[in-house]
Structures are given as C-alpha cells and as structure tokens.
C-alpha cells in the first residue's frame, strides 16, 4: 500500500495542543470520535493506531441485508435438509 503524507499544524485547545484529522482521512481509515486511539512513539515519530475496530449495529445490519439480497436463496438451499441434490450437479442421467 502506498503511504500518504500530509503536513499538519497543531491547534491550541485550552492548555493543550490538538491534532485535527480531516474528515476524508477519517473516512479513509473508517475512524470516528467513538474509536479509542493508542499513541506510541519511536522517539522521533508519533504513531496513532485505533485500539480496536468494531462494526456498529447499523454496519452489521447493512452487511446482513447485503448477504441476504445477494446470497439468500443459495443459503436457504444449502440449509434445506430435504434438498438431496447438489446445486452443481445435474439430476439428468446420460444415456447412449
């Protein structure tokens, strides 16, 4: 993956300094204000890493809907114990 570089200025926030991360970068990384971050350093660089990545209920519901829409019938056939034939094989016999 190609590394992206951006130069940022720290912003004063009360008695502290803040690093403001632009919305396109947050979207690219799938990050939001609710995701905790781990800050580490190698002595010269600051490394910001999400502590964990989790899916929201809405994302899970959207993914389930997509699977049902695209694979629902196939999954129903796979789960049907009365279905004795494989979807990849034909029940026709070849006669010569």
Residue 45 lies in a domain: yes
DSSP string, 19-30: -PPPHHHHHHHT
Residue 38 lies in a domain: yes
Range of the domain at 38: 11-50
Residues 6 or more apart in contact with residue 20 via CB below 8 angstroms: 8, 11
Residue 83 lies in a domain: no
pLDDT tens-digit series, residues 37-91: 899 999 999 998 888 767 788 989 999 999 999 999 999 999 888 875 555 554 5
Residue 76 lies in a domain: no
Residue 93 lies in a domain: no
What is the structure's pLDDT at 87? Answer: 55
What is the structure's pLDDT at 14? Answer: 95
CA-nearest of 3, 92, 90 to 47 is 3
pTM of this structure: 0.45
Residue 64 lies in a domain: no
* Count of domains observed in the chain: 1
Residue 34 lies in a domain: yes
10-39: average pLDDT = 90
């Amino acid at each position: 993956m190609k590394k992206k570089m951006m130069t940022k200025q720290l912003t004063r926030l009360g008695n502290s300094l803040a690093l403001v991360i632009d919305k396109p970068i947050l979207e690219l990384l799938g990050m939001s204000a609710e995701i905790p971050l781990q800050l580490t350093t190698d002595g010269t660089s600051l490394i910001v890493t999400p502590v964990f990545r989790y899916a929201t209920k809405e994302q899970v519901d959207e993914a389930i809907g997509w699977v049902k829409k695209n694979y629902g019938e196939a999954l129903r056939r796979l789960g049907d114990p009365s279905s004795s034939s494989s979807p990849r094989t034909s029940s026709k016999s070849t006669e010569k």
